[in-house]
Structure 1
Amino acid sequence: MKRYYQLLKETFPTKTAVLTELINLEAIHHLPKGTEYFVSDVHGEYQAFDYLLRSGSGLLKERIQACFEDLSIRDVDLDDFTLYVLYPEEKMERETSRLGRKALEAKLASHIPYLIQVVRFVGSKYTRSKVRKAMPKEFAYIIEELLAEVERRRNKADYFQAIIDKVQALGQLDELVIALSRLIQELTVDHLHLVGDIYDRGPEPDKILDRLQGQRSVDIQWGNHDITWMGAFSGSHVCMVNVIRIAARYNNLSLIEDRYGINLRRLIEYSQAHYQPLPALTPILDGESISQSEADLLNQLQQATAILQFKLENALIERRPDFQLGHRQLLAKVCYEDKTICLDGQTYPLQDFETSCLKPDSPCQLTAEEEEILEQLMYRFQASERLARHVDLLFEKGSMYLVYNQQLLFHGCIPLHDNGDFKSLRIEGVSYAGKDLLDFYEEQIRLAYRQPHIHDDFATDLFWYLWIGETSSLFGKTAMTTFERYYIADKATHEEKKNAYYQLRNDPAICQMILTAFGLGSDSHIINGHTPVKEKAGESPIKAEGKMLVIDGGFAKGYQKKTGLAGYTLVYNSFGLQLVAHRPFTGVEDVLDGGGDIISAQRLVEEVDERILVKSTTIGEQLQQEITALEHLYHHFEDY
């Protein structure tokens, strides 16, 4: 402890420096808490996700209007002004064509005082230091000067205008407007929580992760689709094959090949040599148009990876009896003579089930060619520098669950029995349930991540269990029926029975039991994703008398017909919790045409009696620890 205070003294070498920091931290304690935004299940829909961050989930326009409610603003259309804040580059490009360069510069110069006022308004709940840190470095001095003089006192009006004139004369007016717009966007979203499922279905999860890398304050709760990509990079062959299969199913191979630089040529050649296109494996295109040859390739690749997946899965189940997945060794249940399978005592014919790469006496055995392909693919996945950066970010910012500002965040479920007791997973004689189960999962997959060249140890295999396991907090169903959905026409076999959690989460007592297990009290909430809320059919995202908030509203286009929406954002500011429902994002051009409003409904979830201050938050707890240490150092300064 003495060494700790000696190091602290090196940072604050005088009592005056300690006092200054104490005053600063105490002042921060009494500021209103920053605004948190919660989204989930973004599934590669980068354009819509980017718009949510730029617009504060559509609420930025309201902030701008509130800014000028009591201020005089002349000759400015606030709707048009808002577009400059949302998409400054695109808006200026349009206006250059419409107005001409000279007229545009005059307009931009007239906007700068108002942009500065908005910066002051959205930054008013932060310290000057925090606002300063958020400023683009190249314009930090200019913005600070403009902020100091925005009120345009008579004796400084010329000074203020001189700054703008000089910026314009040096050809930097566009860049200053862009810098101010981005600063406003950043200050609007103080902290972002992404409650799982960045990957799969949509085409650009990589761009979402690039965007998150530049986000000042963010955390991620891992989703089941994220975990397979993390597993693929961490050495799981079955996870790797699965992500390729899903990419082929949704026509997203460009993510793997072009943007992650992973060469699939050997696997594609193998799939084309052994498989012919079959109806059951037709790719899902969500309205996209591709050539027949492209569709055939996706079909064949999907077949090859599906069979490889089932082979690898069987071997994993064989070596992990504790996973209790023996009933899912489906290749061993097939009658290869007549292409049928017996499930739960009933026999079903198999459709489009290609057996050329399966040996009836040992259907789960990999061929030498398959083993070579898998080894090459794993090398390429782990050699992808961009994928490495993204998986590193998922581990750095991510977790199985998070307790933050007295809220409990996790993607899927807390596995339960029908009676509400925690459902356990027994591994080598030790049972894990509730919070301990999620802690165990996280400990093991972090171990696998640190040892990526070990491919069939327990920790690496656990990635797959999290994808398909009944007691997985990321899946929570009796079975992942991929095989049945591909090869059995009877849809009754496609059912994936959900864990009791998904029904019991409507009960406030059950939700409170879960919250208590994670050390939280009666004022807390569970924030959940994973299962799209079918609001179109009357389902509510607010459950258990407000204890449970399910914020998967169908961000991915494929879910929107069922949900009737295009996602939710939960907004938690110093006044309480608000749920914002969204219409589909139809593109930047529609926004610039004035038709980009995505808010379909706003619902007050909970309003607090007294405005929440920083001292009552998770950040406040951390600051209090710093304050306590600094107070000790101040009173015993000479001892160190």
Structure 2
Amino acid sequence: MNNARSNELIAEIINLEAILNLPKGTEHFISDLHGEFEAFNHILRNGSGSIRDKVTTLFNQVLSEEQIDELCFLIYYPEEKIQSLTVQQSLSDNWWFETINYLLIVVRFSSSKYTRSKVRKALPQTYAYILEELIYQYDETTNKKAYYKQIIQKIIDLGEGERFITDLAYLTQRFVIDHLHVIGDIFDRGPYPDKIMDTLIGYHSLDIQWGNHDIIWLGAMSGSKACLANVLRICARYGNLDLLEDAYGIDLNLLKSYSRKTYLDNSQFMPKKNPYRKLRISEVTDAMKIQQSMAIIQEKLEGQLIKRRPEFQMDHRLLLDKISDNQILVDGQPYKLVNSCFQTIDWCDPYQLSEEEEMIVNDLMDQFQHAKKLKQQMTFLVEKGSLYLSYNHNLLIHGCIPLNKDSTFQSMVFNGKCYAGKSLLDFFEVNIKQAFEEPWKSEDFSTDIVWYLWCGESSSLFGKKAMKTFERYFIEDSETHVEEKNSYYDLRNNAEVCQRILKAFSITDSDAHIINGHTPVKLIKGESPIKAAGKMIVIDGGFSKSYQKITGIGGYTLLYNSFGMQLAAHKPFSDKKTTIENNDDIISTRQIVDRQLTRLKVKDTTIGLSLIDETRKLNQQLSHNKLSPSK
């Protein structure tokens, strides 16, 4: 019995120690997607240029540049590309045979850093045996040449070429990227966060660091009425009410009816231009009036929350009770109000919802929490998500680590205990998860903390002194609209400050980085995404079309493979149809961030550390077995 067990332990130890010496897998970092599904989908499919790099390496002496483009797009969009080629020409048996052989070469090359077991698990069941035979062609030029040729020819003869090519294309996408990091803000602005979430749910390996726009959706699902009001207002502002209705099945008729009878046309509340479709006049009108409804409801609900949570220190954001004679006092200064829509406010109790507003909010909350698809996506977001992640000697965080001007950690006191830096983020995360587990509680501390993360001064997701939604809507003086950023955003240019932050999160490796999203890098104004002598990398480059005028690009992504880090800058995405027809990739430039002097192996990674620990335990068991008498 002991001998059999010892043999099992020996085999497992050999396997794990061999795995530790494989090259490190490629990590892909992406952030601030903001519902821009098509651009996200393209970058996910092309691995931020990784596939093109491999195809070029393999075939630059064999294929023309145009043929390389064609092969790359066949890998990115196999179904669409084959359909397009079929319309243009009749595809010969020779085309099918050559294409399958090219793709097999790419798959072999892309999977070469993985164990055979890992590759086998990734194979589609239909062709698993055949694919395994073709991928591991150790004797293709002599004894088995005819064997392999016959397999491919029979696939073509049976009319399975398209299906086989499609499987090879998706295998290549799977093998090129080992792990995906999404550094926040999947939701809001763009129209298709639901499609992004569906894609992420089906992805083979990933983690998510929550963004401020993700947190209000999580907050709404967790029972926060203030977060719910923000979600509705932002959907109306960006002309995305159909996301709620069509994707998630939220019935907005009650809200529409109330808004139509209560509010007038008001140009300040016109929805932003939807980049994917032109809104009908009725949709524009509803978005304009719903935005007014939710702006007022939001101010009331947030006022109630601020009053019940004095520890949040947000009394300066109580504004409705500062209104008098069409003026408002902000920080003691009087300002004239414009674009007024205050007809539902009871000036004797300005933060109280009317009966009809209360009914609408309760109805929306009930629908939101019972929307099946939305609940599935929010559950996945919690399971795969965190406020920060220490991974392979890097700190991944969407927003900031709140800092004072002297670079010390900004602190908050809750229940007599002081939290700052890592402990503050850990405290926030515990409350996010607790609020999500108890969605029936709508005014408890944990649920209110989730809202605080959206707009509180010491929030690691917001990173500003105050959110000026009210001022932007109702005060003409643009000086009142300015949102003062946390000192972190200046101090993150300092390598010593970044080093101190990393140390506080127990990351001491000399090659460590902080990888950030949240704030668009204004490349058009000369701003660099690489800061603090390379210790800080900001990868929000403007996936959202609304940001691209100020960034000058269509987003950044980051790749980290066994040779080091590369930053990819992308040109704005046009549309899927045009991109496929013209083989128009969207990678503009690649920039090396770090190049490793020695190629990184699995043993140098976070997963490697766990495998080393597992190997140590197995060796201890083996030693114990050898000392124990055999039964």
Q: Say yes or no: TM over 0.5.
A: yes
Matched residue of 2:143: which SS?
Answer: helix
1:216 deviation in Å?
0.9
- Aligned pair 1:295/2:294, yes or no? no
Distance in 1 between the 2:489 and 2:255 partners? 39
Match of 1:465 in 2: 452
Question: Deviation digits for residues 313-346 of structure 1, max 9, x if unmatched?
Answer: 00000000000000101111111xx221111222
CA contact (8 A) 2:299 2:320 kept: yes
- Specify which of 69, 73, 89 is matched with residue 79 of structure 2: 89
Match of 2:395 in 1: 408
- Specify which of 34, 39, 42 is matched with residue 30 of structure 2: 39
CA contact (8 A) 2:239 2:274 kept: no
- Aligned pair 1:122/2:113, yes or no? no
Distance in 1 between the 2:157 and 2:590 partners? 44
Matched residue of 1:432: which SS?
Answer: strand
CA contact (8 A) 2:524 2:550 kept: yes
For residues 1-12 of structure 1, what are the structure 2 equivalents within 5 Å?
none
- Aligned pair 1:393/2:383, yes or no? no
CA contact (8 A) 1:113 1:150 kept: no
Question: Could you tell me which amino acid in structure 2 is paired with residue 509 of structure 1?
Answer: E
- Aligned pair 1:55/2:46, yes or no? yes
Distance in 2 between the 1:293 and 1:216 partners? 42
Q: Matched residue pairs, number?
A: 626
For residues 460-499 of structure 1, what are the structure 2 equivalents within 5 Å?
460-499=447-486
Match of 2:206 in 1: 218
- Aligned pair 1:321/2:305, yes or no? no
1:585 deviation in Å?
1.4
Match of 2:601 in 1: 613
TM-score after normalising by structure 1: 0.95
- Specify which of 534, 538, 544 is matched with residue 556 of structure 1: 544
* Structure 1 segments unaligned to the other structure (5+ residues): 1-5
- Aligned pair 1:373/2:360, yes or no? yes
Distance in 1 between the 2:556 and 2:469 partners? 28
Matched residue of 2:592: which SS?
Answer: strand
1:577 deviation in Å?
1.1
Distance in 2 between the 1:81 and 1:585 partners? 20
Distance in 1 between the 2:199 and 2:280 partners? 32
Question: Could you tell me which amino acid in structure 2 is paired with residue 369 of structure 1?
Answer: E
Distance in 1 between the 2:34 and 2:65 partners? 42
Match of 2:230 in 1: 242
Distance in 1 between the 2:195 and 2:616 partners? 41
Question: Could you tell me which amino acid in structure 1 is paired with residue 69 of structure 2?
Answer: D
Question: Could you tell me which amino acid in structure 1 is paired with residue 285 of structure 2?
Answer: D
Matched residue of 1:154: which SS?
Answer: coil
Question: Deviation digits for residues 32-84 of structure 1, max 9, x if unmatched?
Answer: 100111111011111111111110112311111112357x6799922212221
Match of 1:511 in 2: 498
Matched residue of 1:341: which SS?
Answer: strand
CA contact (8 A) 2:108 2:136 kept: no
- Aligned pair 1:152/2:143, yes or no? no
Distance in 2 between the 1:76 and 1:315 partners? 62
Distance in 2 between the 1:104 and 1:291 partners? 47
Question: Deviation digits for residues 189-217 of structure 1, max 9, x if unmatched?
Answer: 11111110000001111111111111111
Distance in 2 between the 1:512 and 1:286 partners? 42
Question: Deviation digits for residues 364-409 of structure 1, max 9, x if unmatched?
Answer: 1112222122111111111111111111111111100000000001
Distance in 2 between the 1:108 and 1:234 partners? 52
Identity %: 49
Distance in 1 between the 2:8 and 2:569 partners? 47
- Specify which of 70, 77, 93 is matched with residue 80 of structure 1: 70
1:292 deviation in Å?
2.3
Matched residue of 1:52: which SS?
Answer: helix
CA contact (8 A) 2:540 2:555 kept: yes
- Specify which of 478, 498, 520 is matched with residue 507 of structure 2: 520
Question: Deviation digits for residues 595-635 of structure 1, max 9, x if unmatched?
Answer: 52212111111111111110010010111121112212222
Distance in 1 between the 2:256 and 2:270 partners? 16
Match of 1:3 in 2: none
Question: Could you tell me which amino acid in structure 2 is paired with residue 418 of structure 1?
Answer: K
Match of 1:304 in 2: 293
- Specify which of 16, 24, 34 is matched with residue 15 of structure 2: 24
CA contact (8 A) 1:282 1:299 kept: yes
Match of 2:330 in 1: 343
CA contact (8 A) 2:33 2:543 kept: yes
Distance in 2 between the 1:95 and 1:279 partners? 48
Question: Could you tell me which amino acid in structure 2 is paired with residue 322 of structure 1?
Answer: E
Question: Could you tell me which amino acid in structure 2 is paired with residue 77 of structure 1?
Answer: Q
1:459 deviation in Å?
0.1
Question: Could you tell me which amino acid in structure 1 is paired with residue 279 of structure 2?
Answer: I
Distance in 2 between the 1:75 and 1:504 partners? 45
1:286 deviation in Å?
4.6
Question: Could you tell me which amino acid in structure 1 is paired with residue 268 of structure 2?
Answer: A
CA contact (8 A) 1:586 1:596 kept: no
Distance in 2 between the 1:104 and 1:96 partners? 10
Does 104-113 or 273-282 show the bigger shift?
Answer: 104-113
- Aligned pair 1:539/2:522, yes or no? no
Distance in 1 between the 2:601 and 2:63 partners? 31
- Aligned pair 1:362/2:349, yes or no? yes
Distance in 1 between the 2:125 and 2:72 partners? 24
For residues 96-245 of structure 1, what are the structure 2 equivalents within 5 Å?
96-100=86-90, 103-149=91-137, 152-245=140-233
1:349 deviation in Å?
1.4
CA contact (8 A) 1:95 1:104 kept: no
Matched residue of 1:473: which SS?
Answer: coil
Does 290-299 or 431-440 show the bigger shift?
Answer: 290-299
* Structure 2 segments unaligned to the other structure (5+ residues): none
1:363 deviation in Å?
1.2
CA contact (8 A) 1:120 1:147 kept: yes
1:419 deviation in Å?
0.6
Question: Deviation digits for residues 152-172 of structure 1, max 9, x if unmatched?
Answer: 223322211221222223322
1:141 deviation in Å?
1.1
TM-score after normalising by structure 2: 0.96
Distance in 1 between the 2:570 and 2:24 partners? 25
Question: Deviation digits for residues 540-565 of structure 1, max 9, x if unmatched?
Answer: 11111111101101110000000001
1:529 deviation in Å?
0.6
1:173 deviation in Å?
1.4
Distance in 1 between the 2:138 and 2:39 partners? 34
CA contact (8 A) 2:520 2:540 kept: yes
1:582 deviation in Å?
0.7
Distance in 2 between the 1:266 and 1:63 partners? 54
1:150 deviation in Å?
7.1
